[in-house]
Amino acid sequence: MRSCVFFVLALACVARAQRPADLVIHNGKIVTIDDQQPRAEAVAIAGETILFAGSNADVLAYIDAARTKVIDARGRLVTPGFNDAHIHFLQGGRAMLEVDLNNANTLAEVQEKVKARAAELPAGTLIRGRGWDHERFADKAWPTKEVLDAVAPNHPVALSRVDGHSIWVNSLLLRKAGITRRTRDPSGGTIVRDPETGEPTGILKEAAQGLLDLDEYEPTDAEQREMDEQGLDKALAEARRTGVTSIQHLNGDFELFERFRDEGRLTLRVTVNMELPSGKRRLAELDKLRGRYPSEGNWIRFGYLKGFIDGTLGSGTALMFEPFADNPETSGLSQMAYNELERRVLAADRMGFQIGVHAIGAKGNHWVLNAYEKARQVNGRRDSRHRIEHAQILADADIGRFGQLGVIASMQPTHCITDKRFAEKRIGRDRCRGAYAWRRLLDADAHIAFGTDWPVEPVDPLEGLYAAVTRKDRAGEPGEGWFPDQRLTMEEAIRLYTLGAAYAEFTENRKGMIRPGYLADLVIFDRDLLTVPPEQIMQAQVDTTIVAGRIVYQRRSR
């Protein structure tokens, strides 16, 4: 009955509509993330842009019964579309074509999946997979090549750890690469060896992964194009299903995104980031590339330049001030000397590039902050919005520097609930006070942008929202969560996934809020995330995803 009354009133208001809308959502609980108007009942959209956000009564003026599609939200939650600030989007899609080990809790499960793939492929064909995590295994020990040899002796096998910073290979692949007990560790990498024999165990960390000889397994250009398109199709479908309407992608693939856009197949907005180079010639090439994809664009834009200073907590390669508690022989692996990092940062900053550096450990984060501070001193202060990607473990003295220097903490909340299983074992309770310190950063006036690091973590923002407000494992452990003083409210978490992520890519003037004049990227959920019990957050589903005013996903009702 209410809908009938709504349409009668709408017909009466057509004459006074300033500009008829193409799409109207009404009867919603709209969380706008706009401080000037935090809540609304209705939103009107024309083309790719939001015309109006306000009351059910006032939206009537934008409805033309002959052209306006009307969605009755029936009290459901409506938010801005989610913007993943750190995602390996094509890698995530491609990973869906490989052996998926994300839920493997035993070596037997890994063997079963590898054996099944070996049965499908001719002998000698490379088996790729990713997602295993030795912290999920009962003994929490690093696996060995013999486990893979038992089920795939005639296939080279390369399985990336969930964080992508270590790889597990079988004996065949080690032999083909010529990696033996006499092979030296490369700079920034480790060949894990048997403590008694010195023989490689099959685990290669960080730069040591580059020792593998995989050239003969490279697909042809036609095969690669087909794999890329399949991977992007799968990734886009996942994004639509989970309400992701913008991504800040690592790294490259401009042409593939452009081809999908031109074919009408691109259903999200893409900021593409590139590698932070070591030389001036490459910087000049990147300068030309950003001219082709300017910041004013709304679909495919050039983003920041990304570097690495360390590894990960899971692989035990994050750069720390003190040795790891569970492995006192190391305090992590730097991926370049501090002087080299500073040199690269100064050169890119001088040319006006935004920079984002991967830093996990406290010392790694300290070094990156130092380099950014040096760039400000040498090149002058500007709105650079340099970023630290992950910013996972911070020294107390460095937390305030994010706000002081205008450095964005680009963080992934699910890393907290994944890594907390072993964080205290790795670095001790005291150092964990600076781990995933969202509240402390916000209190220090830092900007935070949320993302997922997919395929390291699931692409679904709901898992990140759950992590941010609970700091509990995915099973819903009892208690207040891990360092509960760092929990966020649901609305704060949504803000960091939307407006916070937009700010990190200089688009906060047109994305991240439901406000007139902003791009019409919205999500309708099947329940109110602001009021449901925490254990229901990950059970929620996206009912509708809207990108540029167009419905790109509609969940089928049962």
SS (H, E, C) 460-499: CHHHHHHHHHHCCCCCCCCCCCCCHHHCCCHHHHHHHHCH
The reported pLDDT for the residue numbered 556 is: 84
Q: What is the 3-class SS of 498-511, one letter each residue?
A: CHHHHHHCCCCCCC
Distances (CA, A) of 534 to 1, 461, 470, 476, 479: 34, 14, 7, 8, 12
Strand order in the sheet with 69-72: 49-54, 42-46, 23-26, 69-72
Query: Which burial class, exposed, middle or buried, applies to 78 when counting CB atoms under 10 A from its CB (0-12, 13-18, 19+)?
Result: buried
With CA atoms as reference, report the closest residue to 19 among 49, 40, 39, 42: 49
Say if CB 99 and CB 127 are below 8 A apart: yes
The reported pLDDT for the residue numbered 165 is: 86
- Produce one character per residue of 372-385: b if its CB has 16 or more CB atoms within 10 Å, e if not: bbbbbeebeeeebb
Half-sphere exposure of 34 (CA within 13 A, CB side): 20
The reported pLDDT for the residue numbered 267 is: 98
Half-sphere exposure of 472 (CA within 13 A, CB side): 15
Distances (CA, A) of 441 to 1, 51, 494: 49, 34, 16
Q: What are the structural domains, with CATH classification, of the chain?
A: 2-75 (2.30.40.10), 95-217 (3.10.310.70)
- How far apart, in whole angstroms, are the C-alpha atoms of residue 112 and residue 117? 9
Q: Among all chains, which residue has been given the structure tokens 């709105």? A: 383
Q: What contacts 157, CB < 8 A, 6 or more positions away?
A: 114, 126, 127, 129, 148, 168, 169, 170, 172, 173
Say if CB 516 and CB 44 are below 8 A apart: no
Q: From its phi and psi, is residue 47 left (phi > 0), alpha (psi between -120 and 50) or beta?
A: left
Using DSSP bridges, classify how beta strands 200-206 and 166-169 pair: parallel, antiparallel or unpaired.
antiparallel
Q: What contacts 440, CB < 8 A, 6 or more positions away?
A: 399, 434, 486
Using DSSP bridges, classify how beta strands 550-554 and 269-275 pair: parallel, antiparallel or unpaired.
unpaired
With CA atoms as reference, report the closest residue to 45 among 81, 69, 29, 11: 69
The reported pLDDT for the residue numbered 8 is: 44
Element (H, E) at 25: strand 23-26
Report pTM.
Answer: 0.90
Give Cα 372 to chain centroid, integer Å. 23
Give pLDDT < 50 ranges for the chain: 1, 4-17, 558
208 three-class SS: helix
Q: Give the CA dihedral 288, 289, 291, 295, nearest 10 degrees.
A: -150
Give Cα 294 to chain centroid, integer Å. 22
